[in-house]
Amino acid sequence: MSTTDSTPEQAEYRSSQIPRFCLLLHENEPLRPSGTAPLIKSCLPDTLSFIWQRKEIDSEFLRLLDDPQYQPYLIFPADRPGTQHRTVNKLISSDRRPLFIIPDGTWKEVRKIVRKSPYLDQLPMLSLTPDSSTEYRLRRNPDRDHLCTSEIAELLLKPFQPKLSFALQQALQQFQLDYYQTQD
């Protein structure tokens, strides 16, 4: 994801409020062997995932968005037209647990998810600023400063749980090595 604003490191938060992750997967994404969502779920077992379908909105997902224990954030680049007004550059001060909703798919699919899902319009959009370019090489990326799904989760997790963030980074490196070895 292109990332142009602050990271959660610059936000004020209560250390007891470890974020929860929610992956909103394009329906084609679980079929792709290059997808990184399973890495997130292996490092963070309480990660939720929902299959996005344009015409059939998952009622469990909608209930999650309205759950008073969570403060949901849509994780998406702020460099896209029409998104700047929704962008926040720090977490909202709240007693609610952060819920990071990460759309997952190809960049074309992710933009479609955000564009065609009016129920996401109400959510504050958190855009990240990575320190470096993506290390993910299994798919073409339209922009070097756009990250893959597991890199996004890693960056979001870092200020809350640095050891888990590092474990996720290591898992991605190993995943790519294993993937390339199976392609030989």
Q: How far apart are CA 140 and CA 82, in angstroms?
A: 25
Q: Decide if 102 is inside a domain.
A: yes
Residue 82 forms part of a structural domain: yes
149 in any annotated domain: yes
- Answer whether residue 99 is part of any domain: yes
Q: What is the mean pLDDT of residues 84-99?
A: 84
Which class for 12: exposed (0-12), middle (13-18), buried (19 or more C-beta within 10 A)? Answer: exposed
Contacts of 138 (CB under 8 A, 6+ apart): 34, 176, 179
- Rounded mean pLDDT of 65-75? 95
Q: How large a percentage of the chain has pLDDT more than 70? A: 78
> What's the confidence (pLDDT) of residue 5?
40
**How high is the pLDDT of residue 180?**
74
Considering the entire predicted model, what is its pTM? Answer: 0.83
Residue 90's domain comprises 8-183
Position 10 pLDDT exceeds 60: no
Question: In this structure, is residue 1 part of a structural domain?
Answer: no
**pLDDT single digits (tens) 20-50:** 999 999 999 888 877 889 989 999 999 999 9
Number of structural domains in the chain: 1
| d(C-alpha 101, C-alpha 115), whole Å | 15
At 143 the pLDDT is 62
Q: Is residue 2 part of a domain?
A: no
3 is a domain residue = no
Report pLDDT digits (tens) over 94-128.
889 999 999 999 888 998 999 999 999 999 999 87
Could you report the per-residue pLDDT of 123-171, keeping only the tens digit for each? 999 987 767 666 655 556 656 666 778 888 998 999 999 999 999 988 8
Q: 131 is written with which tokens?
A: 């320190």
Confidence (pLDDT) at 162? 93
